[in-house]
């Protein structure tokens, strides 16, 4: 079906397009769903159709707060969270057994929600809350699209893969990892990135953060451990900071628990280095401008971070969170390293000395940074939200 044919069918719908979104628990599941909702609403508005959205999640999850902020209708289902262990017997915990007892109730609630709402399509972005709604979509014969943000399917999406009408994945590397029975239904869309990420400007970052001591002759490094910061990354940076400031300007987002210590340390730096080091607890609306200014990013390797770095074409040194579900952050980091877009420091390699060895050649060579940036852009899909919207609308129009 061509895009024009799809738009014609949508325009003839004669009522709002009904979409159920499920998934959440973390930003990695929640924000791609939100970006897809916004993009789908804009696409439908272009043909004169409204979007009616119901988000199904948990009351304590991030998705509940996001839905309320966005004015999206929200409801909950009972669900069980599986706390994983490398030892199968280690999963037989009281908490797991208790949560599994909620599954039948959640399944009944989910089927009632889908049956009553009669969505044109259901979008699942993962997280344990997505499973009952995804299965209910299959039982109620409603088109189900699951979206996977990481290289390997997460636990919830693996459970839903056979029930899905289409499986939208973020990377070509995911396709060979899918079972034969589901690979035929897969499509590479990329991971939706907030559109504001593409609006950054270097000059605005300098003004917004008051970076008067930054040298235009040196590259700029942006260091982040995520919204809460990372003690591991902060420790590694402390070990190598004097050397780093000799070779670069540094913006360091360290998290609220480390800001006092980091600020005190910064105050003791020599005056010339102190002007090239900006430490902050949190980077908010100015993040697009900070990313525009950055020549190198040192960070974790969560799915959202990877999507932004590749969409923008940013060289990176990635330090995966060892406790990430299914070791997904290490898989993400090694995927970028294999493509020449990043250097990955995994497990025992994550030391201050190893960080210095990883960063040094990148800072010393504009040519290397350019090659890494080109490789990152080769992996990026800045139109991922539009691609995912096409999949959602096309399954509904079949």
pLDDT, average across residues 9-13: 89
The tens digit of pLDDT for each residue in 349-389 reads: 889 999 999 999 999 999 999 999 999 999 999 999 999 99
Question: pLDDT at position 83, please?
Answer: 46
Q: Any idea where the domains of the chain sit in the sequence?
A: 3-193+382-396, 195-379
Q: Which CATH superfamily is domain 195-379 in?
A: Glycogen Phosphorylase B; (3.40.50.2000)
Question: Domain 3-193+382-396 - what CATH class?
Answer: alpha beta
Q: What is the pTM of this model?
A: 0.88
Residue-level pLDDT at 78: 87
- At 81-128, the pLDDT tens digits run 554 445 544 544 555 545 555 567 888 999 999 999 999 999 999 998
Return the closest-CA partner of residue 123 out of 211, 32, 235, 226: 32
Say what the pLDDT of residue 91 is. 44
Alpha helices per DSSP H over the chain: 3-11, 27-45, 62-70, 94-100, 103-117, 130-139, 155-160, 180-183, 202-209, 231-247, 259-267, 271-274, 287-293, 303-312, 328-338, 352-364, 366-379, 384-396
Do 3-193+382-396 and 195-379 come out as alike in CATH topology? Answer: yes
């Amino acid at each position: 079906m061509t895009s024009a044919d799809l738009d014609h069918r949508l325009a003839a719908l004669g009522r709002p397009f009904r979409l159920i979104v499920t998934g959440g628990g973390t930003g990695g599941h929640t924000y791609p769903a939100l970006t897809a909702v916004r993009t789908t609403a804009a696409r439908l508005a272009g043909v004169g159709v409204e979007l009616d959205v119901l988000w199904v999640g948990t009351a304590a999850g991030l998705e509940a707060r996001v839905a309320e902020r966005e004015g999206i209708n929200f409801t909950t289902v009972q669900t069980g969270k599986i706390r994983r262990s490398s030892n199968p017997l280690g999963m037989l915990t009281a908490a797991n057994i208790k949560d599994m007892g909620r599954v039948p109730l959640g399944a009944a609630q989910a089927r009632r929600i889908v049956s009553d709402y009669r969505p044109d399509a259901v979008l699942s972005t993962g997280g344990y809350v997505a499973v009952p709604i995804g299965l209910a979509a299959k039982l109620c014969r409603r088109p189900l699209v699951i979206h996977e943000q990481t290289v390997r399917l997460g636990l919830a999406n693996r459970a839903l893969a056979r029930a899905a009408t289409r499986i939208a994945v973020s990377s070509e590397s995911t396709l060979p990892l899918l079972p034969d029975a589901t690979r035929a239904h897969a499509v590479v869309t990329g991971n939706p990135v907030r559109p504001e990420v593409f609006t950054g400007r270097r000059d605005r970052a300098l003004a917004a953060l008051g970076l008067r001591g930054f040298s235009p002759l040196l590259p700029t490094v942006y260091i982040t451990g995520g919204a809460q910061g990372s003690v591991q990354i902060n420790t590694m940076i402390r070990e190598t900071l004097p050397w780093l400031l000799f070779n670069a300007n540094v913006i360091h987002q360290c998290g609220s628990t480390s800001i006092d210590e980091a600020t005190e340390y910064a105050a003791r730096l020599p005056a010339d280095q102190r002007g090239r080091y900006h430490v902050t607890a949190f980077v908010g609306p100015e993040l697009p401008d900070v990313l525009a200014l950055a020549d190198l990013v040192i960070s974790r390797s969560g799915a959202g971070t990877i999507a932004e770095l590749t969409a923008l074409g940013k060289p990176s040194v990635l330090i995966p969170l060892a406790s990430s579900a299914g070791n997904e952050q290490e898989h993400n980091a090694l995927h970028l390293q294999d493509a020449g877009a990043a250097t990955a420091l995994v497990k025992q390699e994550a030391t201050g000395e190893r960080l210095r060895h990883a960063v040094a050649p990148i800072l010393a060579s504009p040519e290397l940074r350019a090659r890494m940036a080109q490789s990152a852009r080769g992996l990026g899909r800045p139109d991922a939200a539009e691609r995912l919207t096409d999949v959602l609308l096309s399954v509904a129009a079949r």
